[in-house]
Chain A
Amino acid sequence: MRLNTGIRTRAIAAGLAVTTAAACSIGSPSAGSDSLTFVSTGSPFQDYQKQAWQDPFTAQTKLKIRNDGPVDEAKMRTMVEAKKVTWDVVDTSAAAAEQYCGKYVEKLDFSVIDQSVFPKGTVGQCGVPAYFYSLIFMFDKKKYASNQPKTIADFFDVKKFPGRRIVPPEIAVGLLEAALLADGVPRDKLYPLDLDRAFRKLEPIKKVTTFAKTYGQMQQMLVDRQVDMGLVLSARAYQALKAGAPFEPVWDKTIVNWDDLVVPKDAPNKEQAMKFIAFASKAKPSADLAALASVQPINENITPNYNEVQQRVNPFTPDRRASVVRSDSAWWGKNFDRVTARYTAWLAG
């Protein structure tokens, strides 16, 4: 008797703990009409967004802003379906903004938001860029002191450049693009991505590559020199360099992505949310965030006040500008699920 009840109670207790935890994280107080709920990736990035966007916005409009996080599209979907939306402005990937447009996120009001400030091809019906970030090919300059990688193709060449690699936890930030560019696909013929060709190109590096689970892990592995080269997001590259990681960027091909600001469907303070997005796309807030968080501002005419280390990972300087290849968020919005499923299967196989 003891035996059976023991198992059951413990199993049930464990299950209960999980469900209660989930239930607690779903229920959060809804915001009043004189405040907004802003959702992003959490500290420290969200603190920078507070400093650069929210504080001046509150000073100007007297609207208070409540911060919540982390961004979780599954949670957003659950809120929309349960008709209990507590989020007003969400920082999410441009692909997600495309994919869930009209379904889980609202169409934006372009009479409030000025879409002319954003680069061509980056504005969607449901999202505008919050900031840009780039996927930079970096190598350990101590390990490759005598034989330095020069092009993106070298990242995929394990014979000429043996060593451990690391790639980001998300597939949509440029790994497949990097593989195709390395394989000789011209940048104007990149989309639609040739998936068969991309996965073929990835095959040789699979064994020596750490497919990072989080960006934090990626940054840590660079600092601890657990890897010899990597495709690294600019903000993480900056943090790693600042912590003393001996890595050097290669300015051959840099894939540039961006996050969008979106408004969840049936958000409680839609109107204010549009005003906030309009404010965040102004030159000064955008430049301030770029300098604080080591990202790129929403257009190239804005010049953030980067420090020396940030300047080392900035792909938009005149001599590096030619390496920039912009991601196609519309393609990703349509193909994200299919590509992710294939990538997961490829990884686990």
Chain B
Amino acid sequence: MTTTTTTPAVTAVPTRGREGPRPRGRAALFILPAAALLLVFFFYPIATIVWRSFTEPHAGLGNYTALLHDGVSVKVLVRTLVTALIVAVSTLLIAYPYAYAMTKVGARARGVLTVIVLLPFWTSLMARNFAWYMLEQRGGPIERFLGAIGFDGVVLLGTVAGVALAMVQVMLPFMVLPLYSGMEGIDRRLLDAAGSLGAPRWRAFARVYVPLSVPGMLSGFSLVFIMTLGFYITPALLGSPQQSLISQVIGDRVSRLLDFGGAGALGSVLLTVTLLVLFAVSRFAGSSRALGKAVGND
């Protein structure tokens, strides 16, 4: 991946020398449609939502202070953050060995493993959610299985656990793929070098391989964490009003109470949290990526 991105840059140098600065302006032109689209359909609506959160029904911070006192918003926000954290960590734990295996096997097996990861991608999200609905409902396979091994009456449908379980499955590709592309670039000779210096295999893995895979982990983790924070369909189908997540509460505010200001305030809080997470990750990733580059590529 790193090599493919650098190659065009290298070949581009003589072209630029021949034609002068014009391609640069042309490149800006290429970005224009996408930028215009974003401006109209993304930044403008978001700006409107944020604006309304400060102006409706009254100007000021009323909507935000109300969030602190309504008895739901803070609780639901914390619940959503915890759920997103659990989903991201669980996905990481499941995806890590899988992505590792993908780097170890032959080309054909890797192809099969990739298809298995992508299969859920190609299946309708609704179909998958309804499949989980059937699995998790009262009298469904999960309850019967848990009953058989001694846990009676565990119904996941309508609980945060049930939502998290389904989200882990939905999010798995978003974790496996960044992890794999990160691990693929790790020079395995470094492990041999560690071994030749006397490190047992597990220590070489823990001290050399795992730190080198941190950029992939961070990328997958933040992707899954952020997507889980704002996920709507899965909680709406598998969750319940008693254990609702923030997206449902925002949806309810808009459609039941027509409270665009309050919903906008909740949305803005969610957006801020998301940006903070992105910022933290990019800071953290910046330092570890420098490490990865220094060790891995040279």
Listed in ascending order, the chain A residues whose CB lies under 8 Å from chain B are: 1-4, 6-8, 10-12, 14-16, 19-20, 22-23, 72-74, 77, 164, 206, 210-211, 213, 224, 226, 337, 340-341, 344-345, 347-349
Query: Are B223 and A10 neighbours in the complex by a CB distance under 8 Å?
Result: yes
Listed in ascending order, the chain B residues whose CB lies under 8 Å from chain A are: 1-2, 5, 37-38, 41-42, 45, 70-72, 75-76, 137-139, 158, 174, 178, 181-182, 215-216, 218-219, 222-223, 226-227, 236, 240-244, 249, 252, 254-260, 274, 278, 281-282, 285, 289
A-B CB contact pairs (8 Å), 28 listed: A1-B5, A3-B285, A4-B285, A7-B219, A10-B223, A11-B278, A12-B38, A12-B42, A15-B42, A16-B42, A19-B41, A23-B41, A73-B258, A74-B258, A74-B260, A77-B260, A210-B158, A210-B240, A224-B137, A226-B137, A337-B257, A340-B256, A341-B70, A344-B241, A347-B241, A347-B244, A348-B249, A349-B71
- Please give me the residue from chain B that is nearest to A227 by CB atom: B138
Query: Are A3 and B72 neighbours in the complex by a CB distance under 8 Å?
Result: no
Query: Are B241 and A6 neighbours in the complex by a CB distance under 8 Å?
Result: no
- Please give me the residue from chain A that is nearest to B282 by CB atom: A4
Which of B37, B71, B289 is most buried by chain A, counting CB atoms within 10 A of its CB? B71
Query: Are B72 and A213 neighbours in the complex by a CB distance under 8 Å?
Result: no
Given A72-B255, A211-B241, A344-B252, does the pair A3, B227 have CB atoms closer than 8 Å? Answer: no
Q: Which residues of A contact B2 (CB under 8 A)?
A: 2
CB distance from B118 to the nearest CB of A (A): 15
Query: Are B241 and A348 neighbours in the complex by a CB distance under 8 Å?
Result: yes
Query: Are A16 and B223 neighbours in the complex by a CB distance under 8 Å?
Result: no
Q: Which residues of A contact B72 (CB under 8 A)?
A: 344-345, 348-349
A224 to B138, CA, bound (A): 10
Query: Are B223 and A6 neighbours in the complex by a CB distance under 8 Å?
Result: yes
- Please give me the residue from chain A that is nearest to B271 by CB atom: A15
Query: Are A344 and B178 neighbours in the complex by a CB distance under 8 Å?
Result: no
Known: A3-B218, A77-B260, A348-B244. 18 other contacts (CB 8 A): A1-B5, A3-B178, A3-B182, A3-B216, A7-B278, A10-B174, A11-B278, A16-B41, A22-B45, A23-B41, A72-B255, A73-B258, A206-B242, A211-B241, A226-B139, A337-B257, A344-B72, A344-B252
Q: Which residues of A contact B226 (CB under 8 A)?
A: 7, 11
Taking a contact as CB atoms closer than 8 A, the residue among A73, A337, A344 that contacts B255 in the complex is A73
B interface secondary structure, majority: helix
A226 to B219, CA, bound (A): 41
Query: Are A77 and B139 neighbours in the complex by a CB distance under 8 Å?
Result: no
Query: Are A213 and B241 neighbours in the complex by a CB distance under 8 Å?
Result: yes
Q: Which residues of A contact B278 (CB under 8 A)?
A: 7-8, 11
- Please give me the residue from chain A that is nearest to B236 by CB atom: A213
A77 to B257, CA, bound (A): 11
Taking a contact as CB atoms closer than 8 A, the residue among B38, B70, B254, B285 that contacts A74 in the complex is B254
Query: Are A19 and B42 neighbours in the complex by a CB distance under 8 Å?
Result: yes
- Please give me the residue from chain B that is nearest to A344 by CB atom: B72
Query: Are B241 and A19 neighbours in the complex by a CB distance under 8 Å?
Result: no
Given A344-B241, A349-B71, does the pair A3, B255 have CB atoms closer than 8 Å? Answer: no
Given A211-B241, A344-B241, does the pair A77, B258 have CB atoms closer than 8 Å? Answer: yes
A14 to B41, CA, bound (A): 12
Q: Which residues of B contact A211 (CB under 8 A)?
A: 240-242
A164 to B157, CA, bound (A): 14
CB distance from B216 to the nearest CB of A (A): 8
- Please give me the residue from chain B that is nearest to A349 by CB atom: B71
Given A4-B282, A7-B278, A349-B72, does the pair A344, B249 have CB atoms closer than 8 Å? Answer: yes
